[in-house]
Structure 1
Amino acid sequence: MKNVITNTFLILVLTCSYMIRAQIPTSEKQYLLEFNKSTVGDQWQNKWDVKADPSTWYGVEIEDGHVTALKLYRNNLTGAIPEGISVLSHLQTLNLAFNVIEGNLPEDMFQLEKLTTMRLEMNKLKGNLPQDCSKMTQLEELSMFNNLLQGTIPSGIGELSNLKTLNLSSNYLEGSLPKSIEKLGKLERLELFGNKLAGTIEVDLGRLVNLKELILSYNQFEGDLPNGMATLSNLEFVQLQGNDFRSLNSLLRMQSSKLAVFDSDDEFLNMKFGSTDASRTRIVDTKYEDVKRN
């Protein structure tokens, strides 16, 4: 009898503990409901029962009474992301990739101080990127390729001190490459394929010592490539073709032994560093991670 009472007590304690952790502030729940409505939740592939507890909603993760993740990768979201997302102040992962979301990015999206992953690729988002990045110092992955974004890359992008992946390929971004990018010492992937970026690259690429992938192809860059790039020993993928570079001679001294793909408009360098195996060439990011990474 004593064991039965003890076990029952433990079950009650665990149940109560779970319920306390699962409960979220009214403001967070209200935003999720607005998000569901704004992105036409009735047509989602995995729908929410909005009358049920938010802890049961697909793609919503809750820890210590707050929403920490919103993972709705490839879930047939349409419409727009509503303003006010900063109310999810404990959000660490936002993955809305491979949907059909339209409209501008919420003005307060870059105020999510605990966010480590923001994946919005393969949507129809438009407008400009927020210029103030100073609060998102925990962000490690910013992926927005294949959207309709315009304007410039934020001059303060270098404030994202923990950033490892920056992928803004296949948009309509213009202007120069912000010099502050050279402050991103942890950056491993810089992918800006297929925009309208232009001018001479003033960034000291040699400071990006962890860089593995540099994809700048099909923009309007000009002038000489910075000398520092030749010192990057971890490079695996380099694509520079489709620009107006005056000279790539600084790369003649490049010693990276890890290069798998090298593409440029300089045939000598292509033969020196590149591969003739077309299957190994990647012009745009085709590593479309499946739902396991959401």
Structure 2
Amino acid sequence: MIKQNMKGEFCNSDCCSWNGVTCDQSTGHVIGLDVISSQLIAKSMSTVASSFFIISVASILLVMISCFLKSHQFAKLIHLNLSSSNFSGLVPSEISHLSKLGSRDLSDNNVGHGLEIGQHCFNKILQNLTEVRYLLLDNVNMSPVVPSSLVNFSSFLISLSLSNTQLRHEFLNGVFRLPFLQYLSLSRNGGLIGNLLESNWSSPLRLLDLSSTKFSGILPEKIENLIHLNMLDLSYCKFTDSNPGSLWNLTSITILDLTFNNFTGQVPTLLSNLRKPTRLSFVHNSFFGQFLDVLGNLSKVIEIYLFDNNFSGQLPLSAFNLTQIGKASKFLDLHSNLLQGPLLLLPLSRKCFSVSNNKLTGETPSWTCGSGTIEYLNLSRRSLQCLGNHDKIFLLDLTMNRALTTLNLNSNPLEGTLPQSLAKCSSLEVPDVGNNKINDKFPHWLATLPKLQVLLLRSNSFQSPIRNLNTRCPFPML
């Protein structure tokens, strides 16, 4: 009874006065409906609040939408945004009656217990929404939908986002042939199978996200025809290309993520063709060989992740040279490769640097001591001999480094004593010097560090009892 009264109040009121509703001033037709994060209810709720006691916002909105779909006033609706509004249940098939929709966003509604689209409803949407340009259904349960039906989308489609929709089985490449498609996301659909072999690779595609799906096979050479492509995310797929040379000609790319695939071969000098990337990730593949001097033109790169491959030899100077690799570069992770030789110069602006689990040797250079901005430094599992002193270990002079949060020097043949300059690193949370040959007393002077949470000293020769700490509240966060 409450819902019936509430429905009457909504359906008989002037919806053009509601927050989130846009009407054509000349015809009175609703042309825009935006209830993102349930903002639509803000003003309209007060007109009917006396008609019921406590009813969830989602229930109110469902009643409103039921009125909308059956009202001739909404026949001209061209924009529908119901994202992040805590809806749940089946999407009503009446939504397909809004044949003039140019954009529809039902994404991010009560993830895990949210909206669901059945095959019958989806077929009607494809049949009637012939003018749709933007369709966002992220986190909507589409498990009943057969992926082959996706090829029937409007040829005017510009943006299609179906991330985490539980799509399964084989994805047909017909969607890639849509002539105006610019944005396509199918990510986080672990049961979705497909390949990129037969597609229209001359489209204006700008974003392609297939991450965390079961797309596999090799990359077609014609992928280089996607001259407008800015983002390509193939991470956590099953691609097995032995020489993905076509990737290095995507000159407009800003984000290239190949993480956790089976790409192999050497990274060619053509990588320097990529003048605009801000993020490169080749993590957990089988790239091998000496890393050539190809990073010099990456002036805008911020993050470079090359770990867990088989790169060998010594990294070229351009990998570390501030004048060649951009000042914006903050993250450089090269751990778990076969790199050899000494470390080179590291720009002082770097925030994260890791070369653990390589075959690097020799002294650690002075940049590890003078960097005032580095927050994460991982030099573990490498053959360090000493750190800045020839007769005994002066582990690190970090007096000026107040940004460092993590220091990992585990499993090196480090000797000598811990430098008390570590006590000046006021942001230090996790120092790890385990599995070395350090011979020292227990570092009670670390007890004053306000953010210290983990202290790893195992497998060394620390002596003296842990007591008589000269501070009222030692190790406050440990």
TM-score, structure 2 as length reference: 0.46
> CA contact under 8 A between 2:229 and 2:252: conserved in structure 1?
yes
The answer to which structure, 1 or 2, has the higher relative contact order (CA under 8 A, 6+ apart) is 1
* Residue 198 (structure 1) shift: 1.1
- CA 1:68–1:206 in structure 2 vs 1: closer, same or farther (change >3 Å)? same
* Residue 237 (structure 1) shift: 0.4
Counterpart of 1:230 in 2: which secondary structure?
coil
Alpha-carbon separation, structure 1, partners of 2:242 and 2:269: 10
1:256 matched to which residue of 2?
326
Which one has the largest radius of gyration?
Answer: 2
Counterpart of 1:78 in 2: which secondary structure?
coil
* Residue 133 (structure 1) shift: 4.1
Alpha-carbon separation, structure 2, partners of 1:14 and 1:172: 46
1:77 matched to which residue of 2?
142
2:131 matched to which residue of 1?
66
Q: Which moved more, 1:212-221 or 1:44-53?
A: 44-53
Alignment partner of 1:51 out of 83, 94, 105: 94
- CA 1:14–1:148 in structure 2 vs 1: closer, same or farther (change >3 Å)? closer
> CA contact under 8 A between 2:130 and 2:154: conserved in structure 1?
no
Confirm or deny that 1:146 pairs with 2:223. no
- CA 1:244–1:202 in structure 2 vs 1: closer, same or farther (change >3 Å)? same
Residue 149 of structure 1 aligns to which amino acid in structure 2?
A: F
Residue 11 of structure 1 aligns to which amino acid in structure 2?
A: T
Of Structure 1 and Structure 2, which has the larger fraction of its residues in helix? 1
* Residue 224 (structure 1) shift: 2.4
* Residue 157 (structure 1) shift: 1.4
Alpha-carbon separation, structure 2, partners of 1:14 and 1:102: 36
Counterpart of 1:175 in 2: which secondary structure?
coil
> CA contact under 8 A between 1:131 and 1:155: conserved in structure 2?
no
Q: Which moved more, 1:100-109 or 1:252-261?
A: 252-261
- What's the Cα RMSD here? 3.5
Confirm or deny that 1:231 pairs with 2:297. yes
* Residue 17 (structure 1) shift: 12
1:247 matched to which residue of 2?
313
* Residue 180 (structure 1) shift: 2.0
Q: Give CA-to-partner distance per residue, 1:240-289, whole Å, 9 cap, x none.
A: 000011235232544321111110035836966544635999xxxxxxxx
* Residue 127 (structure 1) shift: 3.3
Residue 105 of structure 2 aligns to which amino acid in structure 1?
A: G
Tell me, which stretches of 5 or more residues in structure 1 are unaligned? 1-8, 23-43, 282-294
Counterpart of 1:268 in 2: which secondary structure?
coil
* Residue 175 (structure 1) shift: 1.6
Counterpart of 1:156 in 2: which secondary structure?
helix
> CA contact under 8 A between 1:181 and 1:203: conserved in structure 2?
no
Counterpart of 2:299 in 1: which secondary structure?
coil
Residue 132 of structure 2 aligns to which amino acid in structure 1?
A: V
What are the residue-to-residue correspondences of 1:119-158 with 2, within 5 Å? Answer: 119-158=185-224
Alpha-carbon separation, structure 1, partners of 2:344 and 2:238: 29
- CA 1:17–1:116 in structure 2 vs 1: closer, same or farther (change >3 Å)? farther
- CA 1:219–1:270 in structure 2 vs 1: closer, same or farther (change >3 Å)? farther
What are the residue-to-residue correspondences of 1:154-169 with 2, within 5 Å? Answer: 154-169=220-235
1:268 matched to which residue of 2?
343
Aligned identity (percent) is 18
> CA contact under 8 A between 2:75 and 2:98: conserved in structure 1?
no
Residue 112 of structure 1 aligns to which amino acid in structure 2?
A: L
Aligned residues: 251
Counterpart of 1:150 in 2: which secondary structure?
strand
Alpha-carbon separation, structure 1, partners of 2:220 and 2:345: 32
Confirm or deny that 1:277 pairs with 2:375. yes
> CA contact under 8 A between 1:260 and 1:280: conserved in structure 2?
no
- CA 1:45–1:18 in structure 2 vs 1: closer, same or farther (change >3 Å)? closer
- CA 1:14–1:99 in structure 2 vs 1: closer, same or farther (change >3 Å)? closer
* Residue 152 (structure 1) shift: 1.6
2:154 matched to which residue of 1?
88
Residue 268 of structure 2 aligns to which amino acid in structure 1?
A: E
* Residue 125 (structure 1) shift: 4.1
- CA 1:116–1:125 in structure 2 vs 1: closer, same or farther (change >3 Å)? farther
Counterpart of 2:168 in 1: which secondary structure?
coil
Alpha-carbon separation, structure 2, partners of 1:71 and 1:183: 30
- CA 1:77–1:205 in structure 2 vs 1: closer, same or farther (change >3 Å)? same
Q: Give CA-to-partner distance per residue, 1:167-209, whole Å, 9 cap, x none.
A: 0101111123422222211110000111111122236111110
1:6 matched to which residue of 2?
none
1:112 matched to which residue of 2?
178
Tell me, which stretches of 5 or more residues in structure 2 are unaligned? 1-24, 32-71, 79-86, 107-124, 354-373, 377-403, 407-478
* Residue 105 (structure 1) shift: 1.3
Residue 221 of structure 1 aligns to which amino acid in structure 2?
A: F
* Residue 119 (structure 1) shift: 0.8
Residue 78 of structure 1 aligns to which amino acid in structure 2?
A: S
What are the residue-to-residue correspondences of 1:178-193 with 2, within 5 Å? Answer: 178-193=244-259
2:27 matched to which residue of 1?
11
TM-score, structure 1 as length reference: 0.72
> CA contact under 8 A between 2:213 and 2:236: conserved in structure 1?
yes
1:205 matched to which residue of 2?
271
Alpha-carbon separation, structure 1, partners of 2:183 and 2:305: 25
